[in-house]
A and B are shown apart, each in its own frame.
Chain A
Amino acid sequence: MFQPEFSLPVALPLRFFRTAPLWLALAALAAFGLEAGEWPQRYSPALLAITHLLMLGFIGNIMVGALLQVCAVLTGIRAQHPERWGWMLWLGLQTGTALLALGLWQMQTHYLQTAAVLLLLSLGALAVWLLTMLWRSRQASALVYPIAGLALTVLSGALLVGVLSVAWPALPLADLLRAHITLGSMAWIFALIIVVGLTVIPMFLVAPSWPARISRYLPAGLAIAVLGAVINAQLLVLLLMPALIWLIALYRLLHQSQRRADPARYLWAWGGFNLIVCTALVPWLDGLSTSWPAQEGIPVLLALHFIVAGLLPIFTAMQAKIIPFLLWMDYRLQVLSGGQLRHMGQLWPEKHLKRLSYLVYLLGISLLPLYLFAFKAIPALIMIFAAALSYCLERAIVHKKRACVS
């Protein structure tokens, strides 16, 4: 019988998790330097650069770390030299992100092309390798969908760089751009949130397993809806169906969770709700833009809402569970019995997660008034959040190291 092994070195996913808050702080710092008039211009070089600092630097690092861990646990996929390949992947992602942001900010084609090559060689190669390994292991895994989503996101991004820098291939820019955004946000990020949630919510929040039909058909349903939306913008509304089904199932599961007071439970609920709000509003984006006084700012506001109110709560909940669990697992491999660490709360105390969650709620709830009247407060709050997240993470690592040597 095929038995997956949990043998990924803990340093590998941790490296990505530890880097993510640094990119978030950098993106916030860059956003803080913008003038009021620059904020609503979604396709300005500065905003494109900041978007990629967030989506690739912050979100990309968290998602890749989670993907590697989930693949190792659920499918037993392992590289022969995980540390070496892990370092190369990490380096490719960070360098690619930095060059892409710099290339977009300064509109330098050489930077953009180098970044596209680096990201194809790191993220693209990772996706192809994972898909090959999954196919070889002959396992029917929902992981196929977000990994395919990652591959298509990287490919569409590379094609965008080609169209922008050398006008090749001859594809319509607007359609390619829409495809890239839809693939990145829904086929890659949202699909991986669904798949990671299948494991981490029942496990860490002590809830029943997801209904078998949801686990089996929802990722495929989302993939079909995304492909429809990529082919025809009119079909963006299709995305609402899988998103709503997921939200209803998520709420039912959270309701049955035995950890009623766990802050992660409310973070999942809040993040899930806001992801659906964004998914529901996207198809009407053009209509909203014309009936709103700050017309051109709507898409930026919606993207901010997607990241700050949708993704940030879920990532906080995920990291606050996954990271201490990985550290505890590694600790138990070094200290076989007894020892100082008896539970995960010693590594990432619940009171710290509560404080982080208050900050996340504050950001999400105050986003619209801050955007309209005090936009610089948004990056300031994000910087505080990045520092707090980094503190929790580093504190957990230090605690675990001390426990190992004592």
Chain B
Amino acid sequence: MADLQLDLRGLAPPEPMERILQWLDAASAGETLLAHLPHTPYPLYDHLRLRRCHWECAEQADGSALLCVQRD
């Protein structure tokens, strides 16, 4: 179960990414975020690589994506 769940589908770029990165910068080790995004967030991956975290992304049938990020 994620510590925080965010539905970011109604936001225009780069707002969804900003929200995720802001959460990540403030999160403690072990905390998890589950974000529902309008599309697979390929541009976000480079930014996640720069931070201490690991993530998984699952594309949904409607084209949206569920991104699970855990702070290391």
Which residues of A does B touch, CB under 8 Å? 3-7, 73-74, 76, 199, 202-206, 208-209, 258-259, 325, 328-329, 332-333, 336-337, 342-344
Contact = CB atoms under 8 A, between A and B. Distances in A.
Given A206-B11, A332-B14, 19 more contacts: A3-B42, A3-B45, A5-B46, A199-B39, A203-B13, A203-B38, A203-B39, A205-B12, A208-B62, A208-B63, A209-B39, A209-B62, A209-B63, A209-B64, A258-B10, A328-B14, A329-B14, A336-B51, A337-B21
B43 interface: yes
The 8 closest A-B pairs by CB, nearest first: A209-B63, A6-B43, A337-B25, A6-B46, A4-B42, A73-B42, A328-B14, A206-B12
Given A74-B42, A202-B39, A209-B39, A325 B14 contact: yes
Contacts of B22: 337
A202 B13 contact: no
Nearest to A329: B43
B72 interface: no
Contacts of B12: 204-206, 259
B46 A343 contact: no
Nearest to A325: B13
A164 B43 CA distance: 46
Interface in B1-34: 10-15, 17-18, 21-22, 25
B10 A6 contact: no
A5 B11 contact: no
Nearest to B57: A3
A342 B18 CA distance: 8
Contact of B21 (A4, A5, A199, A332): A332
Nearest to B25: A337
A203 B40 CA distance: 10
Given A206-B38, A333-B50, A343 B15 contact: yes
A333 B18 CA distance: 12
B45 A6 contact: yes
Nearest to A342: B18
Contact of B38 (A202, A329, A332): A202
A336 B50 contact: yes
Nearest to A212: B63
A204 B38 contact: no
- Indicate the member of B11, B17, B39, B43 with the most A CB atoms within 10 Å: B43
Nearest to A209: B63
Contacts of A199: 39
Contacts of A343: 14-15, 18
Contacts of B10: 206, 258
A343 B21 CA distance: 14
Contacts of A6: 42-46
- Indicate the member of B10, B13, B22, B62 with the most A CB atoms within 10 Å: B13
Contacts of B18: 342-343
Nearest to B61: A212
B47 A202 contact: no
Interface in B33-70: 38-39, 42-47, 50-51, 62-64
A338 to B, nearest CB: 9
A73 B43 contact: yes
A259 B38 CA distance: 14
B13 A204 contact: yes
28 contacts: A4-B42, A4-B45, A6-B45, A7-B46, A73-B42, A73-B43, A76-B42, A202-B38, A203-B39, A204-B12, A204-B13, A206-B11, A209-B64, A259-B12, A325-B14, A328-B14, A329-B14, A329-B43, A329-B46, A332-B14, A332-B17, A333-B47, A333-B50, A336-B25, A336-B51, A342-B18, A343-B14, A344-B14
A84 B12 CA distance: 33
A333 B11 CA distance: 21
A406 B39 CA distance: 32
Contacts of B45: 3-6
A323 to B, nearest CB: 12
Contacts of B17: 332
Nearest to A210: B63
B24 to A, nearest CB: 9
Given A202-B39, A342-B18, A332 B13 contact: no
A100 B30 CA distance: 60
Contacts of A76: 42
A3 B58 CA distance: 12
